[in-house]
Every structure is written in structure tokens, then in C-alpha cells.
Structure 1
Amino acid sequence: MSTSRMRTEIGEQPAALRRTIDGLLPRLSDIGRLARDTRQVLFIARGSSDNAAVYGRYLVESHTGRLATLAAPSIATTYKRDLDLSGVLAVAISQSGKTEEIVQTLDWAARCGARTVAVTNGAGSPLAEAAEVALITEAGEELAVPATKTYTTQLAALAVLGLGLGADVDAEELRGVPDEVARVIEATEASAALPEIVAALARVPGAVVSGRGIAFGTALELALKIKEACYLHAMGLSYADLLHGPIAVVDAQTPALLVAADSGPTLPGTVALAERVRGAGAQAFGIGGGAGLAGASTAALAGPDLPEWVAPLGLIVPGQILVENLARALGLDPDVPRGLNKVTQTD
């Protein structure tokens, strides 16, 4: 079987991340100047970019001390209601920079008093032109419909945004991401757990995907990829929300995929959830979480050896490889999911 475009682009991520990180780290002072008179961050996005925004929100709140929220673009484009956005840094995220709803919402935010940043792979795109500061990712052209390298380079840009906002982390840890992603790709493809998890998921109609905190966006993105490329029902939930009721759907026909960084305050809860899932007679498949999550899971794929604040840049990669393998095992083409286009326009 020939290599899919999706798999090729997964393999291009280390180089894309290195270009993006090297290109954007010199922009820290630009971000700092723009954000100097702001106190809150508003993320504007849809689809995979919205999942990247979830990472950005947790990073900003946990490491810069600023309040961060996700925008509802319909307030701007459908309800057409102006808000007081003075003191707000509006960050719009779009891989193409051409989604009209996102461009319109960023323009609305500026009219309402916000300072504006764009994160996009589209240099010269309408979104990049609309923003005061444009953080251009260096993913190169992405041909497969499911976002892989454009998603991880968005995360890199948001990590740089966090640094520009004064995050209490070490910028040098971001520079180590590309090499670690390359290692994770190689390790995942050599893992005996990969075919085991693929075979298990190919036999069920759906799964629950869960994480918390800085890893929550990764859980949402993995669930989206399973739905997009494999046509399975996949519910992305914080494990806190999962425990409030939806845990009832986890059974022999609905396994749980649990994602976590190898360290951090949400890891113990993720391990405990894996133990609870297995205790209920269901399968729990871990992604990341170190030896603790691997030991509590039915089977597990190792994640990146990275600090929690940058772990999502590598944590999604085993999930991407899992989805690409699962799609092919189901007889599907992961490059061109039905009903989807590379640029999605919404009303």
C-alpha cells in the first residue's frame, strides 16, 4: 500500500516545527509591545484551530496569569452584537487564513477595541493582513485534508505567544520540541501497541477520548481526527466532565483513549481514570502519561519527553499515526475524508 499524504505530512512535522519556532521566537518583543496594555486573551477559531486555541487558553491562564477565553464567532457574524473589548488581545487562528467567519470576527474584535494577532500558515492571507501582528507558521503546503503539521505548528506559534506574554517557562524547552517529535514518530511506528490498539478500535463503533488541562486540546483534536478520517463516533471530553455522567457510555464496545503529558498536575487523575475504566470491564488505551498511565492502561503509546507546557506539540503525534493506521485498516483514504474540504466556510 502506498504511503498516504497524511503519513508523509506527519513525518514533515519536525522540520516544520523547527522552521516555525526559529522564525517566531524573534517576534517575542512584538507580542509583548502589542499586549502591554491588555489584560485578557480572546481566541477566535474553528475546527482543529479551535482545539489549538484550547491549548492556548490553558497555557495562557496557567503560565501567564491572564484570563483567556474562546470566542463565539456568531456573536460577531450572526448576532452582530458589539462588545466592549478594550484591554483584550484577540488571537485569531486559521491554517489557511481564508475562512471568512474568522477574518470577520477578528475585524469585529478590532472595531470593539481589541488588539489583534493572527496565527496562520497563510502568509499574505486576509487574516494575516487584518491583524496587527501576524505569527506565520512554516508548515509548508498541506495536501491531506486532516490537519497534522499545520496543527502542531499552530501550537508552536501559541507557545511563542505565551512566551511573549511573559509565561513563567524556559524558552529553550521549546527549541527541543522538533527533535523529540522526530523521536516520537519513530518510536510510535515501532511500538507493538500500535497494531493492538488499531485492531481494537477497528472492532468498535466509537470511543471516548479524554484528557485534562493543557492536554485537553489534544483529546479534542484526537477525537476530531477519529471522526474525520475514520468515521467513528468519538467523544472528546475533559476527564472531569467524563466523571460527571458520560462515564456511563464507556463499556466493552466503547473504549477510552486517555491522553496526558508525562508530568504535571493532571497526570494522577488520568491514571486513576484508566484504572476505573478497566475496573468497569472496558479497555483503556493510553497516549503519553509515562509509565504510570502505561501501567494502568490496556495498551499504551509513549508520548514525548517534554515539559507539560510544550507536551501537546508532541502528544498529538502518536494519535495522528494511530488515526492514519486505523483509517487504512478500515479501508478508508485518510487524505480525503468524505464531505470535507481543506478550507471550510461557515455562515
Structure 2
Amino acid sequence: MKREIEQQPEALRRTLDAVLPELPALCRLGEQTRQVLFVARGSSDNAAVYGSYLCEVAAGRLATLSSPSVATTYRSRLDLSGVLAVALSQSGRTEEIVQTMAWAADCGARTVAVTNDAESPLAEAAEVTLCTQAGVEQAVPATKTYTTQLAALAVLGLALCGDDQGFRAALHEVPDAVEAMLQPRGDFAEMVARLAAVDGLVVSGRGYAYSTALEVALKFKETSYRTAEGLSYADLLHGPIAVLDGDTPVLLVAPADGPVLPGLVTLARRARELDSATLLLGGDAGLAAACDASVAGPQLPEFLAPIGLVVPGQLLTEAVAVTTGIDPDTPRGLRKVTQTDGAE
């Protein structure tokens, strides 16, 4: 896992080189559709949360995450005319995702696949395929396949924004910003020690970074078997904040700027009042001052920050697993390609 985390800058450079030429095809699909439907599971579903914010905040398109069981279990039929269905699967071989994309097309949707395998069933079935260039990922927890999915979705967002030149220029800065994250700056060792000493935590963010909170929480579950709950800070305040105490820390994830920061400062202060250790990935100086320990995030605009922000989270989860004597590469009960609904 650690080696594959370190491979992400080059994987991102290869991915951008591979998928940017698909911009004209994506722009044409964007002109022919109004809404976006994401089809995914697991880490890919967390990537889709990022994609939905890009579509709605940056591109002004209504976006939603699908419930694949509508297609595969209930076999309902919907009118998806005017919808762009974007299916994500690192292997391209998760049968439920392949079936749901085919169902969406049959219901009238146009289709895009995001996968790491150009010869997979998902890639072959889609009208346009954004093939990430992560290379073979040996560890079960997704790292480089996740960040390259985010990069592919950023290219989709670029297309839906009409190939905005400021967006494009910022996108080219991403690999270098991710490379800078490989040597965490700040209280990394302290945060590892604190999290290795507890059985559970809450991971919280909002807006674009909500996807990062979900993914980092998933990585804690997969790699070190912590009970980790990923929540929007708005949802956290609506009741779940009651779980925060001296035995349950909160890990905040935040971009370096943007409208979500004031609310996170308020949440950090509230958590400390509850004696919960308050830890931070990213954010600005004001948010860091409100927390007990922090690690710096990427110098990227908010709409691209999740691609870099997840990297110190990956490193943190890997380090906690190793510290507690768990091999993060091969979590118990998991396989690289997951099938659902009894499919094998």
C-alpha cells in the first residue's frame, strides 16, 4: 500500500495524458444531456461523491448517485433520457456496475465508463471510456486507482464546464501537488499515535472534501479495523456528535480555502469542548489553531483539493495499521474485485 501511495504522482500524470484527449467526446455528450447519474460502489462511490460536487457546484448540472439495486434487484424501468450515466469501477468487472450501466443505457441514458482496464466489460459497453493509468494495484485497499478516478472525473468536470482554461491550468498542477503530499508536514507522528490508541473515530468534511472524509473513513475500516464513520459536518451536528468524547477523536478534512472553513472551525471548537481529540488534514491556519494536531494539505483550489487531500489520509491509515501490527495490504475478508448480489 505504501509503495502504491508513492506511485500516485506518476499515475496521475499518465492518467491526465490519457483522458484529456477524450474532452471533445465528453463535451458532445454534455451538450446532449442535462443531468448526471453516477453508478459505483466502495471507493468508487466515494469518488462519485466528488464527481457530484463538481457537476453541481462547478458545472451547474444536477447530479445524483444511483442505487444499483433499482436496476439489478428490482428491475425497475426509469426514463433516463437527457441523463449522462457515469459508471466507475477500478476493475471494470464488478458485475452489478456493468449491469446497471447497461440498464441506464436501455432506459435512454448516454454512458461514460471510468475504469483502470481498457479491455474490461465496463469499458467495452460504454460510449466513452476514461481509462485511468494507475497500473496494477496489488494492495486490496484502493489508493492510486482512487486518485486517478478523481482525476478522470475532474476531466469530466472540465468538459461540462466548457473546457474552462483556468480549470485546465489548475488540473495540470495536480500531480506536483500530490507529490508534495508524500512527505507529510505537521503533526503526523502525533496523529498516528493518537489514532493507534483508539478503537474508533469520526471523519468529517463538507462540500468537495466530504468525499475525502468518506474515503479516509473507509480506509481506516479496511486497513486497521477501526470503527470509522465518515460524515458531513452538517450531519455530524444533527445528533451523531453525541459519540464524541475522550475516547473518540474526530479527524477533520478540509481544503486550504473556500466557504466550508468557518463551519469546520466551529465544529473543531465544539469537539474540543466535548474532550474529543480534534485532528486535521488540510485546512488553513485558523482551522489548524482550533485543532489539537494537524497535517498540511495540498495547495490546490477547492474543486481539485480532494485529489491531493486524500494522500495524507492514505498515509495516516497505512501508518496506523502498521503501528498496530496489521498488514494493510491484505485486510481480512476482502478481495480486490468485489461482487454483490451473490455474483461470483
Q: What range describes the TM-score normalised by the shorter chain of this pair?
A: over 0.9
Which residue of the partner structure matches residue 28 of structure 2? 33
Alignment partners' CA distance in 1, 2:120 and 2:59: 29
Structure 2 counterpart of 1:201: 195
Deviation (angstroms), 1:192:
5.2
SS of residue paired to 1:207:
strand
SS at 1:336's partner residue?
Answer: coil
Separation of aligned partners in 2, 1:93 and 1:248: 35
Which residue does the alignment assign to 2:178?
181
Amino acid at match of 1:315: L
Deviation at 1:346, TM superposition (A): 0.4
Of the three residues 107, 130, 146, the one matched with 1:135 is 130
SS in 1 for 2:182: helix
Q: Which range moved further: 69-78 or 275-284?
A: 275-284
Runs of 4 or more, structure 1, over 2 Å off, are none
* CA displacement at 1:208 relative to structure 2: 0.3
Whether 2:221 is the aligned partner of 1:221: answer: no
- Identify the residue that residue 270 of structure 2 maps to in structure 1: 276
How far 1:35 moved relative to its partner? 2.3
Q: Deviations over 1:190-238 (max 9, x none)?
A: x451111111111111000000010000000000000000101001100
Measure, in 2, the Cα distance between the counterparts of 1:330 and 1:65. 45
Q: Is the 8 A contact 1:40 1:89 kept in 2?
A: yes
> Counterpart of 2:116?
121
Partner of residue 9 from structure 2, selected from 2, 5, 14: 14
Q: 1:60 & 1:268 partners in 2: Cα distance?
A: 24
State the alpha-carbon separation in 1 of the partners of residues 261 and 81 from structure 2.
37
C-alpha contact 2:186 2:294 (8 A) present in aligned 1: no
Cα deviations by residue, 1:155-191 (Å, 9 ceiling, x for unpaired): 00000000111166521101001011111112x1xx4
Q: Distance in 2 between matches of 1:141 and 1:292?
A: 40
Measure, in 1, the Cα distance between the counterparts of 2:209 and 2:98. Answer: 27
Do the aligned partners of 1:90 and 1:114 also contact (CA within 8 Å) in 2? Answer: yes
Residue in 2 aligned with 1:23?
A: 18
Asked if residue 105 in structure 1 is aligned to residue 100 in structure 2, the reply is yes
Please name the residue that 2:225 is paired with: 231
Q: Normalising to structure 2: TM-score of the pair? A: 0.97
- Look up the equivalent residue of 2:171 and give its one-letter code: L
Size of the aligned set, in residue pairs, is: 339
Amino acid at match of 1:59: L
Identity, in percent, stands at: 65
- Structure 1 residue corresponding to 2:40, chosen from 41, 45, 50: 45
Of residues 74, 91, 94 in structure 1, which corresponds to 2:69? 74
Deviations 1:8-34 (A, max 9, x none): 000000000011112211211110112
The 10-residue stretch of structure 1 (320-329 or 34-43) with the greater mean CA deviation from structure 2:
34-43
Deviation at 1:146, TM superposition (A): 0.5
Q: How far is the alpha carbon of 1:37 from its aligned partner?
A: 1.6
User: Secondary structure at 1:185's aligned position in 2?
Assistant: coil
CA distance in 2, matches of 1:162, 1:146: 26
Partner of 1:170: 167
Moved more, 243-252 or 165-174: 165-174
Which runs of 5 or more residues in structure 2 are unaligned? Answer: none
CA RMSD of aligned residues (A): 0.9
Deviation at 1:253, TM superposition (A): 0.6
AA aligned opposite 2:329? D
Corresponding residue for residue 325 of structure 2: 331
Quote the residue 1:90 is aligned against.
85
Find 1:255's aligned residue among 249, 256, 264.
249
Q: Distance in 1 between matches of 2:70 and 2:154?
A: 27
Is residue 309 of structure 2 the alignment partner of residue 315 of structure 1? Answer: yes
Structure 2 counterpart of 1:3:
none
The match for 2:281 is: 287
Cα 1:170–1:192 shift into 2, 3 Å: closer
CA deviations over 1:39-69 (Å, ceiling 9, x no partner): 0000000000000000000111001111000
Superposition deviation, residue 270 in structure 1? 1.1
Distance of 1:46 and 1:192 partners within structure 2:
33
Letter in 2 for 1:183: A
Q: Report the TM-score when normalising by structure 1.
A: 0.96
User: What SS does the aligned partner of 2:303 have?
Assistant: helix
Contact kept, 8 Å, 1:35 with 1:115, in 2: the verdict is no
- Looking at structure 2, the residues matched to 60 and 265 of structure 1 have their Cα atoms a distance apart, in angstroms, of 18
Contact 2:282 2:297 in 1 (8 A): yes
Q: How far apart are 1:271 and its partner, in Å? A: 1.7
- Distance in 2 (alpha carbons) for counterparts of 1:316 and 1:83: 35
Asked whether the equivalents of residues 11 and 134 of structure 2 are also in contact (C-alpha less than 8 Å), the reply is yes
In 2, Cα distance between the equivalents of 1:272 and 1:178? 32
What are structure 1's unaligned runs of at least 5 residues? 1-5
Take 1:123 and 1:298, find their aligned partners in 2: how far apart are those partners?
45
1:56 aligns with 2:51: yes
